Amino acid sequence: MENKIEEKKEQVEAASSQAPLEPQKEESVSKPNKIAISIHRNAIIAGVIILIVAVIGGLLFYYKGLFIAATVNGSPISRLAVISELEKTSGKKTLESLITKKLIDDEARSKGIIINQADIDAELKTIEDQVKAQGATLDQVLTEQGVTLEYLRNQIAVQKELEGLLADQIQVSDDDVAKYITDNKVTIPKGEEAASKEQIKNQLKQQKLSDAAGTLLESLRSKSKINYFINY
């Protein structure tokens, strides 16, 4: 009897001493499915790359003028090459012009002077009428001067800003006009008195504007911190 109890006890101890076996995990996705998913993913990536390349290629062709100025027998001349040549010949002048415009813009803004499109259009119309009166068109004059309409608009805006900043220094009275006519012995055709005097008045105003603008710009430059990162 004791032998049977002892034998039973040994069987229980032997069973308890064995480590439990972990159930084997089944793969959630079989190997063939993994391969198929990988191929599908690679195909999508390749398709996206091809699409991006096609879009970039299309944009470069459509906006080729942004990069290529001209072609000669199929050989391109880049805009960078044109810009480089322009910098050599007029880089300093152009840079100084942009600095001047920036100084005037900042000063006008600080004084609350805002030039709107209506002001520019009105001045542009005046110029166009003057050109027509001389038997030409504005487009012809711009072409002869080698400038664009947008350039003219920018110049008008700068002049209007200066006129606002120097309004108290560029006033022209009727006495100023009369003195100019007398000093320069100007002969005014009969019937054109008003138009001639207005023309003289504008001329005197421009002279005063030019002189006052020079003084203003000297003052603005002396008060401003201008750093040059390129020397022409």
Residues 12-48: tens digit of each pLDDT: 454 455 544 444 444 454 555 656 666 666 667 766 6
Domain-wise residue ranges, the chain? 90-223
The 3 state secondary structure assigned to the chain is CHHHHHHHHHHHHHHHHCCCCCCCCCCCCCHHHHHHHHHHHHHHHHHHHHHHHHHHHHHHHHCHHHCEEEEECCEEEEHHHHHHHHHHHHHHHHHHHHHHHHHHHHHHHHCCCCCCHHHHHHHHHHHHHHHHHCCCCHHHHHHHHCCCHHHHHHHHHHHHHHHHHCHHHCCCCHHHHHHHHHHCCCCCCCCCHHHHHHHHHHHHHHHHHHHHHHHHHHHHHHHCCCCCCCCC
Confidence of residue 230 (pLDDT cuts 50, 70, 90): confident
Residues 42-73: tens digit of each pLDDT: 667 766 677 676 665 555 555 555 678 888 98
- Positive/negative CA dihedral, 85, 87, 89, 90: positive
Token pair 């040549």: residue: 85
The per-residue pLDDT for 65 is 57
CB 122 within 8 A of CB 156: no
Among 59-73, 80-94, 215-229, the least confident range: 59-73
Q: Any bridge partners for residue 41, and if so which?
A: none
* 90-223 under CATH 1.10.4030.10, yes or no: yes
Q: Any bridge partners for residue 77, and if so which?
A: 70
Confidence of residue 10 (pLDDT cuts 50, 70, 90): low
